[in-house]
Structures are given as structure tokens and as C-alpha cells.
Structure 1
């Protein structure tokens, strides 16, 4: 891989973060990158802390207010990626003109680079700004099962929430998201010899198949996306399967259908008399629908961007993130403030080198300019 000596500071930082591969759930890899990020955050002026978890710590950074009272501005981002350690061997870091490639560069290590560059500039220039809180989540790519409570707590006192997920193609921002829930259906049956004594058994796989048919009927006719992502169970063809499970991915466009489908899943009961059935949420991100508070925040961001010569707009997105949680809580929320690029979760993932600087410029201007948008949460906004 090429030396970073010729790279500008933003690209050099992105290279360092990318070379620290950080798949969700790999505690050792996440810890190595977390140490680097915390050090860079401290250099930028943040106070750093961690919320420890066995599969990866969540990073909590605070930039104390300077001359602006009231509730903090909350930024949400993450440092886990979908790429396992070793991906760099076949998907190496590279820079070709404006195109930067590597695992996680777009989703969303470039966002971390822009954020830290913006904060360092604001501190260096001594510009007034509210308290800035940053959550850097370790398990966003699997629905933030251990981070959602922290996100909710921080959102409750935030004047506004900015998400550092990738933007829409072209750079536009995200003003709403589909609800996203992962559910596991678990069946416990009873093993028996499949030929000598089949009636003594309860086939968990057969029970699971019948339950999956019920689930499909539950979502039929609704604007709900259902994907059965994993099915597992049994062991041998001459043994009645004693256990089976399926993991489902569900996407919702509105809270009404979301509530109805999740209630229906919780109400599933076994078809077979001796089968045991359990459904449990693996992760849950509620539907975030565009609202007046988010529209006002978007208008302010668009105006600030225009003052920098940047043209932006916003619209809802299909994908889910931690901003689902804050938006559904009614907190003013806009996402997609990471640098533009493409290929999230794909081998051709890339991010714009010029976009690093442009988004850092925008974030710095937002840190110092959004407090003029109106009253803080404590004042009733």
C-alpha cells in the first residue's frame, strides 16, 4: 500500500482509519481503532469517554460549549463496518484522483474524518458554539442492539441531531428512514428416530416452515419488506429435528403497519401440540417519518450550506440507522452528513476526496451557526 506521506491530513487520517479494519463484533479490532479515534478526538479538543460493552465499546465525545448556552448538539456516527478483518487484501486502500477506495471508507470512516477536522477548526478559531456531543457506536451495522439505549438517552437532551451516515447519491441529506427490525423465530421440538419412532418426535423445522408461512400472510397486502435472511436447524435426515430458527429482516414505511406486524409476530403460537415457540427482537429501529422539526433543521442546514457555496436538499431514505431512533422520538434530526461517495457494503465502495473537505467545511459552519436557528430543547423547541 502506498505511503501516506504525500497525502493531505484528511486523506492521511482516512487511510489510518481504513487500515484499522473494524468489523462489528470483533472486540480486538474495534478496540485498536477506538484507541486511535479517541486520541484524534482528544487532539481535536474533545473530552473522551467510553461506554463499555463486551463486543465493542461505544465512544462518547464532548466538546464543551463556548459562548452558547443551552442543550447540546448531538452527532451520531459509528466505527464498525460490515467487512471482516483481512478484506484489505482483496479490497486495498487506493486513491485515484477524487476516488478513494477501501473497506469502510464511505460507511462511514470518512464521516469521522470530516467531523474531527471540523471540530479541530472550530476550536482553533475560537468560534462560539454550543456543547457538542458525539456518539461513535460500535454495533451500528447490526442495528445497534447495545447502543440504542445510549442513543435515546443522549437524544432526550439534544437541541438537534446530525447523523454522519453516507448521504444520498450526489450528496443530498436524509430526512426520514424506514423502520428496520430484526426478529428471530425459535422453535424447540423433540428428537426421535425418523423411521423407527417418528411420532415420538416433534419436527422443529416443519413447525418453523409453518410459522414462516404465517408471517408471510401477516405482511401480505401491507407496505412492508420482509426478508428471511437465515434459516437453520436439525442435523441428520434420520433424526426428527429438535430445534430450528429463522432470522427475519423487516422494513416499515409507517408506524401503524410496524406496530401491527410486530404485535402479530409476538402473538404467534405453535401449530404442533408439543412444539415450543419464541420470538425475540434482535434489534429494532422505529420508523422515522419526516416532520416539521426535521424540516426546519434541514432548512437551516441548506441555508448554512448555501453560504459556503454548497447546494443541498433532503429527502427520506430506505436504509436504517441510529437516526431512526432520534427522529422517531421527535427530536429535530437530519442524516447523511458524511462525505459523498457510493457502494456502501459493496466491493466497489468509494468516497470523494474533495468531499472530505467540503463536509468538514459544512460541519464546522453548522457547529457555529445552528444555534441561531431557534430555541434549544430546554426552551421548548
Structure 2
């Protein structure tokens, strides 16, 4: 078994290699839904992981191939079968359109620690950290205690409409789930996340001349406005709910009663009870107007993962971090991710094990090299001992 301090000392000699790898992954842009770029990136990532993994697969999806890597563990059950696995969850896509890296390339600041560029924080630094963690174990002759699976989906930034099935499948039988999303400010782990959903509400009305025959028509736009007001009232009555009408459209022109309208609505909720109340109001709407027809389509969904301050997995990681001389605070996130699913299922879960930084999705996105190296040592230590 490798000593934690040995792993930390060794990884701190990997700075130049980590920067080179980080730069390479950032240079291969991966906007969500771009299957061709996802394929190029996937081949690069698979090649890097294959140096230590026992098997790497690239299951296909609508937006390109995802990736799953496997490492064997040294521990077995009483009947000799593999012990429950540790699941690592990550994503390869970013919110930035192709061409962003030409304008804002990967750059190391004068402090020798801060790196900038599209996706350095969310979350290509995390992928480098995983490669380093497994390389650390290999170089020191150590192996994971339990089997390890790494799932990297390519559509997390748009709600994992396909990738969530992959996470769910590999969560079955998992002993623990480590999410590699960026941490909270100060490098804090995430031990809870609000749930989110996107729903499209459509209204079908009846067109008519707005001046001559208005009474013959049914305005889909008026109906939609009333439905949104109802939904707003429902959300306002729930203390942990948030609602955002992101897009709205409908009608044809000012002198025609609109026969169609729709809105895309974002919902956030901290509890399963609030989720049920919001979904019931939105997915089972009652028309205000007799001849209006309503339909709702759930576009994406992540359940709420309630924060548990006594999260035992977080306690284990905090203890390991202390042995490495590192502080590891904990907190809850207002955003959602793929670990919402595993946390809501009751599987021991933590997230935010990526390197510290800030500015996700923005022009000033940045992350810390020293933190990346420390996270790699922490992950390697956990896998080796737990």
C-alpha cells in the first residue's frame, strides 16, 4: 500500500507533464453536441487512460462517443468475486463554441500556478487529475483496493440527456461515487446539489382575425401567460423552489389571434417534495380557456440530492486530506450535475474533487496547478485505501 505522503511528494514532481497534458486537452475543443470533435477528444483521452486502465470503452451516443475506463481492484468478496466498485464521474464537453481556444488559448500565469483557457476548470483539469492519480498508483506499484470505473459523458453541460443512462448503469453495485466536477469556492467538496429540470410547455389555440372575429379565436399566447403566472405562484409558495422562463415564442402577427405558443422553463428544487409539486403543476396543467390545448415535454431532469452533513464518504476524504496536510471543507451546490442521480439514489457520493479555481463558463475561467496535483494525490490515496 502506497503511503499518502509518498504519493503527494511524487505527484508534485509531475507539474510540467500535467501542464502539457492539460494544454493538450484544452486545445481539443468539445462543445456539447459536436460529435466529430467529441470523437477526436475521446480518442486522445482513451489513449491517455489506456496507459494504466485494464479496459477502455467508448459507448456511442447522439452527440458522439462517451467513455468508460475500468481498473481491477485487489479486494474480492468471500466468494472470490470483485468487491463493489468505486465510480468516478466526469464529463468532457464544455459550454464554449468551437474557435474559442484560438482567441483564448491555454495560458500559465506569471505566478506559475494559475492556468486559464476554456474548460480548464470545468472540467478538463479533472480529467488530467484522474490520469495522474492512476499513474501515481502504477508508478508506486500500488493498485486500487476496489475495482474502479470512470464514466466520462459528453453531454453534461446540456443536462446529460443521453449520458445519464450511462451514469445510472454504472452506478449499479457501486460502493461509492466520486464526482470530479469543480469544487465550491475554497476547494470545498459538494455533498448535496439542488435538482434541476427543463420543461417545454406548448399551447395550441384557435386563430382568428383579431379585429373582426376575436371572439372566435383562442389566444395561445394569453393562455401561456396565464399558465406561467400560475406556475410562478406555485413556485413562490415553496421555500426551496426557483423558476426561470428561459425562452418564449408564439403567434404570427399582431392582427391574428395566436394559435400557438410555447415556453422553455427551468426549474430548481432542493427536496423531492418540491420537485413533485413543481412537476405536477407543469406536467399536468389545466387549461384556463375551454378550447386551449396544453402539452408539456420534459427535456432534461436531475433529482435533488439533499445535503447530509454527516456524509461518511466526505468524512473519509476529509481525514485522508488531513493526512496529506490539506484542508477539505464541505458544502452544498445550487447547481446540478450527474452526481445528483447517485446521491438521490442513496449511494455514498461526493462531488467537487476537481482542482480549485473559479470562473466556470466565463471569460475569466481559471484553475490551480498545485490544486490539481493535490487532488490527484487525494484520489489516488482514496482508491488505494478504500
TM-score by length of 2: 0.90
The separation in 2 between residues aligned to 1:200 and 1:35, in whole angstroms, is 60
1:210 to 226, 237, 240: 226
The separation in 2 between residues aligned to 1:200 and 1:102, in whole angstroms, is 57
Cα offsets for 1:47-67 (capped at 9, x unmatched): 111221122322111112235
Give 1:332's aligned residue.
348
Bigger mean CA offset, 254-263 vs 189-198: 189-198
1:36 to 37, 44, 47: 44
Cα offsets for 1:155-183 (capped at 9, x unmatched): 12100000000001111111111111111
Q: In the alignment, is the contact (CA less than 8 A) between 1:205 and 1:244 conserved in 2?
A: yes
Q: In the alignment, is the contact (CA less than 8 A) between 1:167 and 1:340 conserved in 2?
A: yes
**Which consecutive segments of 4 or more residues in structure 1 shift more than 6 A?**
none
Give 2:117's aligned residue.
102
Give 1:373's aligned residue.
none
Give 2:279's aligned residue.
262
1:140 to 150, 156, 162: 156
Report 1:112-151 matches (<5 A).
112-129=127-144, 130-151=146-167
1:21 to 24, 29, 33: 29
Report 1:289-300 matches (<5 A).
289-291=306-308, 295-300=311-316
What is the SS of the residue equivalent to 2:360?
coil
Q: Indicate yes or no: 2:329 matched with 1:304.
A: no
2:187 to 171, 187, 193: 171
TM-score by length of 1: 0.91
Cα RMSD, aligned residues only? 1.8
Q: Indicate yes or no: 2:288 matched with 1:271.
A: yes
The separation in 2 between residues aligned to 1:197 and 1:50, in whole angstroms, is 59
Cα offsets for 1:61-84 (capped at 9, x unmatched): 111223554011000000011111
2:71 to 38, 41, 63: 63
What is the SS of the residue equivalent to 2:50?
helix
Report 1:43-54 matches (<5 A).
43-54=51-62
Give 1:377's aligned residue.
none
Give 1:229's aligned residue.
246
Give 1:247's aligned residue.
264
Number of aligned residues: 364
What is the SS of the residue equivalent to 2:186?
coil
Give 2:380's aligned residue.
364
The separation in 2 between residues aligned to 1:85 and 1:299, in whole angstroms, is 40
The separation in 2 between residues aligned to 1:77 and 1:286, in whole angstroms, is 18
Q: In the alignment, is the contact (CA less than 8 A) between 2:192 and 2:332 conserved in 1?
A: yes
The separation in 1 between residues aligned to 2:345 and 2:248, in whole angstroms, is 33
2:126 to 111, 118, 123: 111
Cα offsets for 1:104-153 (capped at 9, x unmatched): 11001100000111112212333132110011011111211112222222
The separation in 1 between residues aligned to 2:326 and 2:43, in whole angstroms, is 34
Q: State the shift of 1:46 in Å.
A: 4.4
Q: State the shift of 1:191 in Å.
A: 3.4
Q: In the alignment, is the contact (CA less than 8 A) between 1:45 and 1:123 conserved in 2?
A: no
Report 1:310-321 matches (<5 A).
310-321=326-337
Q: State the shift of 1:16 in Å.
A: 1.0
Q: In the alignment, is the contact (CA less than 8 A) between 1:80 and 1:140 conserved in 2?
A: yes
Structure 2: stretches of 5+ with no match in the other structure:
1-14, 77-81
The separation in 2 between residues aligned to 1:309 and 1:325, in whole angstroms, is 32
Q: In the alignment, is the contact (CA less than 8 A) between 2:136 and 2:377 conserved in 1?
A: no
Q: Indicate yes or no: 2:85 matched with 1:72.
A: yes
The separation in 1 between residues aligned to 2:35 and 2:119, in whole angstroms, is 17
Structure 1: stretches of 5+ with no match in the other structure:
1-6, 371-381
